[in-house]
Amino acid sequence: MPNYFLYARKSTDVEDKQVLSIEAQLVELRELARDEHIEIAEELVEKKSAKMPGRPVFNEMLHRMAKGEAKGIVCWKLDRLARNPVDGGQISWMLQQGMIEHILMPDKSYRPTDNVLMMSVEFGMANQFIRDLSSNTSRGLRQKARHGDFPGTAPVGYLNDIRAKTIVVDRRKSKAIRAAFELYVLGKSRLEDISRFLFEQGVKSTNGNPLHKDRVRFILANPFYYGVFIYKGETYEGRHTPLIEKRLWDKVQQVLIDRGHPQKTTSDPKPFCGLLRDLDSNQDKRLQRALSYH
């Protein structure tokens, strides 16, 4: 009897919310294999989305099956194997070529002699579900932005309120962010100075280090702090509480522009400029006359 790979997969994506957990899949599939008197060569577990090709455990399983280490797969549903046409095509092709002799699931199974149309339809439905879900999610996020709610991670100085699904002010860090704007607008501080100031106020990177100057520039240039945000190239009026006034933000942008350009050199002549060159020229002429006498 050929060996089988038991494959269980679940990701944290939205489409996997109603799918059995890894542990539940393993329990069900072990019982199925026992009832069908199937020899399991190895249990393979993957915690990764199948929306895109490139799952390492899945690819390694197909590679090993092509070498003949196993001839069958036990899985919960076909969409556990593939939700994209590339991976689905690999499964279908290997099944037709006999490299996979059997795909067993609790409610159905597929063999090389079966009609491939049904498998293609099932893979197609899994892929279309992902496409529709992505489209619906994007549409929902755009609508959320139109209502003034930023559909993303809150900038530093704010927090995501998971329950209310809104963005609220971070009482601890918001004061430091506001002070950073007020400090930088004076025009006497570099981005590195602002980073050091924020670090002293408890605003750090995820690694606990001072923010990189590019990160500081991003904060100072973010219009979110005066009440608007940009999403997918469009500007929206936010419902969140601004930390600063737009007038202060505008002044900070001008400082960023001024400090981002090198100082222009004046065209006024400098003392002694060109003097040494003239001396060298006169010395060359005297040297040439002296040589001509000889």
Mark out the alpha helices in 53-190 (DSSP H runs). 56-66, 78-81, 85-96, 116-146, 174-184
Buried b (16+ CB within 10 A) or exposed e, 139-157: eebeebbeeebbbeebbbb
Q: pLDDT tens, 268-290?
A: 444 444 444 444 455 455 545 54
What residue spans define the domains of the chain? 3-130, 158-260
Angle at 134 between CA 132 and CA 136, to 5 degrees: 65
pLDDT in tens, 84-113: 999 999 999 999 999 999 999 998 899 998
Q: Which fold has domain 158-260?
A: Hect, E3 ligase catalytic domain fold (3.90.1750)
Locate tokens 């038991």: which residue? 6
For domain 3-130, say whether CATH 3.30.70.100 is its number: no
For residues 46 and 30, what is the distance between their CA atoms, to the nearest angstrom? 16
pLDDT at residue 293 tops 80:
no
- Assess whether the region 3-130 and the region 158-260 belong to the same CATH fold: no
CA pair distance 81, 83, nearest whole angstrom? 7
**Residue 261, pLDDT score:** 60
* Mean pLDDT for the chain overall: 85
Mean pLDDT across 182-200: 95
Q: Is the dihedral of CA 42, 43, 49, 51 positive or negative?
A: positive
Instruction: Check whether 1 has a pLDDT greater than 80.
Output: no
- pLDDT tens digits, one per residue of 50-63: 889 999 999 999 99
Residue 266 has pLDDT above 50, yes or no: no
Find all residues with CB under 8 Å of 12, minimum gap 6, and list them.
47
